[in-house]
Amino acid sequence: MRPLSAVLSAAASERLAELSDKSFDELSELPDYSWQEVLREGYTLMISIWHDILESGEHRIVVQAGKPGMLASWRFHAEGFAIDNRNERRDLTNEELSSFR
The domain that holds 62 is classified in CATH as 3.30.1300
> What is the per-residue pLDDT for 14?
96
Please tell me the distance from the alpha carbon of residue 101 to that of residue 94, in angstroms, as a whole number. Answer: 10
- Total tally of structural domains belonging to the chain: 1
Please tell me the distance from the alpha carbon of residue 86 to that of residue 68, in angstroms, as a whole number. Answer: 38
pLDDT tens by residue, 22-74:
999 999 999 999 999 999 999 999 999 999 999 999 999 999 999 987 777 88
Quick one: pLDDT band at residue 1, thresholds 50, 70, 90?
Answer: confident
> What is the per-residue pLDDT for 71?
76
Structural domain including 88 reads 4-100
* Closest to 28 measured CA to CA, from 47, 46, 54, 48: 54
Q: Is pLDDT above 80 for 21? A: yes
Higher per-residue pLDDT: 96 or 1 = 96
